[in-house]
Amino acid sequence: MEFHFLGTGTSAGVPSIGCACAVCTSADPRDQRLRTSAAIVYREPSTSHDGQDRTILIDAGPDLRQQALRAKLRRCDAIFFTHNHVDHTFGLDEIRRFNVVQRAPVALYAEEHTLRFLHRVYEHVFDPAKNINDSFVASVISHRLTPSLAPVDLHGLRWTPIRLLHGRLPVVGFRIEPAPNSTIGAPWLPLAYCTDMSALPPESWPLLEGLSTLVIDALRHRKHPTHLTIDQALTIIDRVRPRRAYLTHMAHEVSHAETQEQLPPGVSLAYDGLVLGSEIP
Amino acid sequence: MEFHFLGTGTSAGVPSIGCACAVCTSADPRDQRLRTSAAIVYREPSTSHDGQDRTILIDAGPDLRQQALRAKLRRCDAIFFTHNHVDHTFGLDEIRRFNVVQRAPVALYAEEHTLRFLHRVYEHVFDPAKNINDSFVASVISHRLTPSLAPVDLHGLRWTPIRLLHGRLPVVGFRIEPAPNSTIGAPWLPLAYCTDMSALPPESWPLLEGLSTLVIDALRHRKHPTHLTIDQALTIIDRVRPRRAYLTHMAHEVSHAETQEQLPPGVSLAYDGLVLGSEIP
C-alpha cells in the first residue's frame, strides 16, 4: 500500500512561469513542484478472490495527466476533494482515460459547495444533453460529504473529513485509516492530509491525535492570509506529535535542500514523486 | 519572429494515461504531444523606440504552464481562442504569472459562445466579487470576435477568423499576416491555423489562398465525427496549395516517424517544440 505525493507545489507551480529566482532555476528535482495532489495505491483484500487493485486520489489538479503518467497510475476508483480551487479541481477531465481503462465511472466525494462548483465548471460532464456534439465525456458518480462531516468507508479505508479554514473558506482535510474490520494496513496509517489551510477550528484537533503521518500545508516563511507558514505548521506538528510529518503546497520561496536542513527531526518537506510504502522514508 | 508549436496532441494528450501502445511508449520525443496550442513570439517595431516584445497565444489549454516553461515564454499580450473545449481553454488561470511579470492584463479574443463559456468556468476571474477570499486572480480584457468574423489588427499582425465546423460546433481558425502598413514579416506568413475541424464551409476557402503556411487538424487515419483524418487534411492541402503544411492535433494512433515517411513533399507532422523562424524547417 503506497501513498504518492503527486504534487507538492502552490497554485502557480514551481518553477513559476517567467521567474528566474534560485528555486525556480534550481537543478534539484525536489524544487520542481506540480500542484498539490496525492494518491493512495493498494490492493483491496477480498475473501472470495485475490483482491482488487485500487487507486484513490486526493484532489484532481491541473497537472493530473502529467502526475498520472509519472506515477504510472492505471486506474482511479475515487477522488476526495478538499475544496473547489482551480489548482485542486481543473484536472477532472483527465479521468476520461481512467473510465476507458477500467470501464467504470469514478466516484467523487466532496462537500456541497465543491460539488456545485464542479457541476458549474464541468457542465459538459454533469449535463451532457447540452453538448452540441456527442462528445466523449468523463463518467462520474457524485457523493456529497455530509454537513456533519461523517466518515466515509470505501474500499477498506475510512476517510474522515477534517474541517479546516483556508482563509475565510471552510475546506476539508482527511484523516485516513483502515475501516472497521478491514485487514488493510500500512505503517504510515493513520494519515491526516491537511493542505490549503490557515487555521484549524477547535473541533478538528481530536482528528489529528494518534497519527502515524501528518501531511500539512506550509506555503513559505512569510505570512499569507490563506495558508500556513512553515513556522505555523511546525507549531501544529509540535502539538499533535505525529510519528512523521510532511510539509506540502510550497511556493518558490522554499528551497528544498536549505529548508530541510532547518526542520526538526521527524519533519520533512514532501516532494513530487515521494512515495510512502512499507517503510517510511 | 517565431511560431512555436506548444502542443500538437489530441484532447487526452500523447501518451494517454494508462495506455501501453507503441506510440504511447515510444522513445521518440516527437511522439509526446501536449494539448494543441501555439504561440507567436516577436518584437513589434516602433518608430519612437526600439520596439516591444510580444507574445500571442492561440488557445490556452490545460498544459499551458508546462508549455510556457518549455518555450521560455516571458509574457502574454493576447490569446486568440478557437473554441470552448477543455483542451483549448482550461489553462487560462496560468496567465496570472504573466500578469505579474508584465504588470498588464491579457487580452482575450473569442467568439460570443466561447466568451460565455469562459465567464461561466472562470467565474472567479470574471466575477471576483463573489470570491470568498481576496484571491489573486488573472487579469484579462475580453474582446468579442464579431459575428461576421471581421479581422482584428493587433500589435502589427492581422488576425482574420476563419469559420470552421468541428462536428456540429461552429469554431474558428485564424489567418495571420502582417497588418496593413505593418513592417513585420516572416517567411512563414501568411499562416492559417485550423485545428479542431471536420469541415470547411464554402465562405472559408478564400481565406486559405496564397498561404505560406497551413497548420491543419489531422487526428488519425480512422474517421472521426469532429476531426479531419490525415487523408482529409491532405485533400484540403492539395486544393489550397500552401508553400508548407503542418498537421496537428494528432492522437496516439499516429507514429511520428512512420507517418512522416508517407506524407507528400511540403507536408510535415508538427511536433511539440517545433519552431518556425527565419528559416522554415
Per-residue model confidence as pLDDT tens digits over A231-267? 999 999 999 999 999 999 999 999 999 999 999 999 9
Distance (Å) of CA A138 to CA A14, A104, A125: 29, 10, 6
Q: Which residue has the cell 457541476?
A: A119
Distance CA A1, CA B203 (A): 59
For residue B91, what is the nearest residue in chain A, using CA coordinates? A62
- At B46 the pLDDT is 83
- Site of grid cell 487560462: B92
Q: Is the minimum CB–CB distance between B104 and chain A shorter than 8 Å?
A: no
The chain A residue lying nearest B123, using CA atoms, is A121
Task: Tell me whether A169 touches chain B (CB under 8 Å).
Answer: yes
Do A120 and B124 make contact, defined as CB atoms within 8 angstroms? no
pLDDT recorded at residue A281: 64
The stretches in chain B having pLDDT less than 50 are none
- Would you tell me which residues 237-276 of chain A have a C-beta closer than 8 angstroms to some C-beta of chain B? none
pLDDT tens string A147-167? 999 999 999 999 999 999 999
Contact A186, A156 (CB under 8 A): no
Closest B-chain CA to A135? B226
What average pLDDT does the segment A82-107 reach? 97
Instruction: Return d(Cα B277, Cα B4) in angstroms, integer.
Output: 9
Average pLDDT for residues A104-125, to the nearest whole number?
A: 97
Which of B10, B17, B83, B171 should we substitute to test contact with A (largest number of A Cβ atoms within 10 Å)?
Answer: B17
**In this predicted structure, what is the pLDDT of residue B280?**
63
Contacts of A134 in chain B (CB under 8 A): 225
Residue A72, C-alpha cell as written in the block: 504510472
DSSP code at position B176:
E
Average pLDDT taken over every residue of chain A: 96
Q: What is the pLDDT of residue A280?
A: 63
Q: Does A88 touch chain B (CB under 8 A)?
A: no
**pLDDT for res B247:** 98
B18 vs A124: CB contact, 8 Å cut-off?
A: no
Q: Which segments within chain A are labelled E, that is strand?
A: 2-7, 37-44, 52-58, 78-80, 106-110, 140-144, 152-154, 157-166, 169-178, 191-194, 213-217, 244-248, 267-269, 275-276
Strands (E), A103-243: 106-110, 140-144, 152-154, 157-166, 169-178, 191-194, 213-217
Q: Write the ipTM.
A: 0.96
CB contact under 8 A, B97 and A18: yes
Q: For residue B146, give Cα distances in angstroms to A53, A265, B80, B149, B152.
A: 52, 62, 13, 5, 10
Residues of B in contact with A124 (CB under 8 A): 86
Report whether pLDDT(A135) > 90.
no
Contact between A6 and A271 (Cβ < 8 Å): no
Chain A's closest residue to B24, CA to CA, is A69
Q: Is the peptide bond before B201 cis (omega within 30 degrees of 0)?
A: no
Q: With 80 as the cut, is the pLDDT of residue A108 above it? A: yes
- CA-CA-CA-CA torsion for A147, A128, A139, A196, nearest 10 degrees? -40
> What DSSP state is assigned to residue B220?
B
Q: Residue written as cell 482535510?
A: A173
The reported pLDDT for the residue numbered A50 is 80
The reply to whether residue B19 touches residue A97, judged by beta carbons under 8 angstroms, is: yes
The pLDDT, as a whole number, for residue B281 is 64
- pTM attached to this predicted model: 0.97
